[in-house]
A and B are shown apart, each in its own frame.
Chain A
Amino acid sequence: MSTRSAELPLDFAVPSSTLVCVADGDAGVREGVRALLGTLGADVHGYATGGELLASLEVELPACVIADVSLPDMSGLELMAELRRRGIRVPTILLSSDAEVSGAVDAMRAGALDFIEKPYVDRALLNQVAPLLK
């Protein structure tokens, strides 16, 4: 038997086909994403920090993770690295309000499904998330 710790929750976590987890320090963005993806039938859970989102994965695995590139407690890239370290393979979309090509390239290299600039989130997000929901 492997030892079970809070960091290795996967034996218990239940994969969901409708859950989308959003981490963004801005409550307005979380609400916006909730309203937007609600139209696809997604069950959207919002978290203000990367730490809170990671903790939630001990219970249920989402169909998709959406995170701001700069969260209050970590960067979006750090969040992706932590997901990888825990062996959690979940499609991850990063949001950014900074138009640097290098940041977008780094995110895509790290395996992000998409990197979306904040003013243009709506349509791009719908296009990416819809196929991930059952």
Chain B
Amino acid sequence: MKEKPATVFVVDDDDAVRTSLRLLLKSVGLPVETHASAQEFLDAFDPDRAGCLVLDIRMPGMSGLELQQKLNDLHAIIPIVFITGHGDVPMAVEAMQHGAVDFIQKPFRDQDLIDRINQALEKDRENRAGLRERDAIRRRMEELTPREREVLELVTQGKANKVIAGDLNVSQRTVEIHRARVMEKMGASSLAHLVRMVIEAERVN
């Protein structure tokens, strides 16, 4: 699966900041897209586009914190680097409590911002790889027959074959066969691996 290159989305109400960040990020070869307001970004937001968000914390209209909240409500995984002013401590703390990956305080050195953006992009790559892995597990689970799914459920509850056989009113040998099929279809190398996959599949963003 080939992905489109990751984009750095810049949201800042200050024209001069947007222009200078656009030039800066282009100069280091990062695709960049700027928005003058949180609402404008939200209207164009596509959760399938890889990248990170560079977000001014203080803006008229919808603030950076409000945009973060809205993205969280959408279970968006895009990592956010906030731009803050001196003394924005309470807002920075709140943004951290809600999952911001990083902050940069104005005025900043260009290289510091680029470093933070690169870390955020790396985090986005990891997040998306995790999501793809989860989707793959879910697809494999959907391939299971209803009976195999029952066995999977009971096996991952830690029940022994003998107990499962009793629960399902079948022979122990039948449980062993189903169990082997489940392990094979799921690509599980061990019971622990199978349990980890089930936990991963049940996780929400």
Contacts and interface: CB of A to CB of B under 8 A. Distances in A.
A101 B96 CA distance: 11
A105 B87 contact: no
Interface stretch (A8-16, A21-29, A57-65, A108-116): A108-116
B105 A102 contact: yes
Most chain A CB within a 10 A radius of its CB, from B87, B89, B102: B89
Contacts of A96: 89
Contact of A105 (B86, B90, B92): B92
Interface residues on A, range: 10 to 19
Nearest to B88: A101
Interface string B79-104: 00000101111101100110000110
Most chain B CB within a 10 A radius of its CB, from A105, A109, A115: A105
B153 to A, nearest CB: 32
B93 A104 contact: yes
Given A101-B84, A101-B103, A101-B105, A108 B96 contact: yes
A108 B102 CA distance: 11
Interface string A75-102: 0000000000000000000001001111
Contact of A108 (B86, B87, B88, B93): B93
A94 B97 CA distance: 14
A114 B93 contact: yes
A115 B97 CA distance: 10
